[in-house]
Amino acid sequence: MENVTDYTEEQIFQELSNVTDPEIPVLTVTDMGVVRKVDKFGETVRVTITPTYSGCPAMQRIESDIKEHLEKLGFEKVEVVTVLSPAWTTDWLTDVGRKKLEEYGIAPPAEKTTDKSALTGGKKTVRCPQCKSENTKMISQFGSTACKALYQCQDCKEPFDYFKCI
C-alpha cells in the first residue's frame, strides 16, 4: 500500500466516491455534489462539504463517514468543514448520479434550477422510473426525505419518489 501522504487532493476526492449517502445508499457523496473541496496541508486533510437541506439529518452521518473512511486509509488528521455558501443545488448532482437514481426507482430532478417553471406553475415532465411513462402527477411537494417529492405514475399506477429541484 502506498503511503497516504503521496495522495493528491484529486485522489482523495476520488476516494470519497466510496462514501455513500445514508438515506439514498445508491448515491455517493461525490455523485451528490456534497463534497465541494479537498485540501491537503502536510498530514492534514480538510474536506469541505455543503448540506443539501438545512435540516438534513444525514449530514452528521456523512461527516463522520468521510472521516472514518479517510482514517481507515491511514490519514491521521482529517477535518470536515461545512459551508453554506454557495448553497447546494440539484444542478451539482452528476450525470452518473442521475442515472443511478432512476435505476434505483427515484426520478432525478427534471430540469436545471435556472428554469423556475416548476415553482411558478409551469409544466415540467417527471418520468416514471418504473415504466418510463411521462404521464405522471405530483401527490405532494414533500416526500420521505427533505430532498424528495411524491409522485404517482398514471399509467403503471406506481407511486414513486422524485428528487426535487432546488
CA distances from 127 to 93, 99, 111, 140, 145 (A): 17, 12, 12, 16, 20
Cα separation, 22 vs 29, whole angstroms: 10
Asked if omega into 86 is within 30° of 0 (cis), the reply is yes
Q: Which does 122 bind (CB under 5 to 8 A by kind): other proteins, Zn ion, none?
A: none
Q: H helices of the chain, where? A: 9-15, 29-32, 58-73, 95-104, 117-120
**CA 113 from chain center: how many Å?**
15
> What character string, x for contact with Zn ion (CB under 5 A) and - otherwise, covers 77-116?
----------------------------------------
Cβ at position 110, least distance to Zn ion in Å: 15
Cβ at position 144, least distance to other proteins in Å: 7
Q: Return the amino acid letter for 97.
A: G
Please report whether residue 17 would count as binding Zn ion according to CB under 5 A. no
95-113 as b/e, with b when 16 or more CB fall inside 10 Å? eebbebbbeeebbbbbbee
Q: Name the residue nearer to other proteins (CB basis): 15 or 52.
A: 52
Segment contacting Zn ion by CB under 5 A, of 57-65, 69-77, 102-110, 153-161: 153-161
Among 59, 70, 128, 149, binds Zn ion (CB under 5 A): 128
Q: Which does 97 bind (CB under 5 to 8 A by kind): other proteins, Zn ion, none?
A: none
Please report whether residue 114 would count as binding other proteins according to CB under 8 A. no
Among 45, 93, 126, 153, binds Zn ion (CB under 5 A): 153
Residues 6+ apart with CB under 8 A from 11: none
- What residues line the site for other proteins (CB under 8 A)? 51, 53-57, 83-89, 119, 139-144, 146, 150, 164, 166
- What residues line the site for Zn ion (CB under 5 A)? 128, 130-131, 133, 153, 156
